[in-house]
Structure 1
Amino acid sequence: MAGGGTEAFPDLGEHCQDPDCKLLDFLPFTCDGCKLVFCLEHRSYKSHNCPKSDHGSRTVSICETCSIAIETTGFDEKGIKSLLEKHERSGDCDPNKKKKPTCPVKRCKEILTFANNLTCKYCGVKFCLKHRFPTDHVCNKKIINTAGTSSRWNERFMEALSLRNQKGCGRGSSVSSKSSPSVRSF
């Protein structure tokens, strides 16, 4: 048998190329670094000591001031340090980007994310789910502009409805049909 498999199925599976393993694996993994075949246990770069483990990899450093990730692939420690200093000198490094929005209610430290915040329909301020109701936060109950547009829509709707009723359209029509029902019930 050349590549692997069993006597009945000689082309099925391959042996792990780790020198200590040689397991016949029916779903082998090919390392994208060294191009050798390995079993599930030895498929990672670290487990088979791949000489090309950094092949295609990227390294990133995080700015401590603004929490932005900066790619540092191919730089040594001195180069990374100078890259971070260059970033801090540029106008891109803003410490305000690091601060996350929190609930504006006193003593509430809940960080607002896309899933746990709600905008109050009266004051238009974003709150955490615990303080979403006007009674739970100090709401000044100003009606925001969206409510004004809906009231205008309601006025136009009611006007159109009254015009429709005046013209005799719809159910309230003055013309009544005297025809007998088409279906009789017994």
Structure 2
Amino acid sequence: MQVDRDLDKVGVHCAIKDCNLLDFLPFICQGCQGQFCLEHKEEKEHKCPTPIVKIGGTTVTCDKCESILPVPVNCFEKDILSMHLRKGCPKKTTVNQHKCSFCPKMESIKIVCPNCKNNFCIKHRFERDHKCKPRVNPPLQQTISPHLQNLLSQLRNSKPVKTNS
């Protein structure tokens, strides 16, 4: 009959071989992606090889890394925490703190005065607020090695070379 063959194209048969029920609204298992009838939709009913862990409505927070961990149904918080610690809990990342050169305040960002090259908090970041004393650069003669000083003096005393252009 033509009608029976057309109905086979509309629905999906249950993936359980013994059932093979034609279902027009099959359930798709989130674990194994199989299509099942109402009777076999549960993971335990079709013996799902890759069941999905159902998450309960609770969570637990790790004290070390402050991660929020979901607690599956029928599990204890302490078991979830110990498993998290065994797998290698990432320790909490600390924010670098930079001490102000003018007051004891700490800032998470580094604010360096371009004039005196010291670090300051937001309140003392401007030169007028931290009584800025610019760093005095040593004279050029002190920063140059004696060998270079000798070469410079020779260049200053030498006669300019004329080029034919």
TM (norm. structure 1) is 0.30
Highest RCO, 1 vs 2 (Cα 8 Å, sep ≥ 6): 2
Q: Larger C-alpha radius of gyration, 1 or 2? A: 2
TM (norm. structure 2) is 0.34
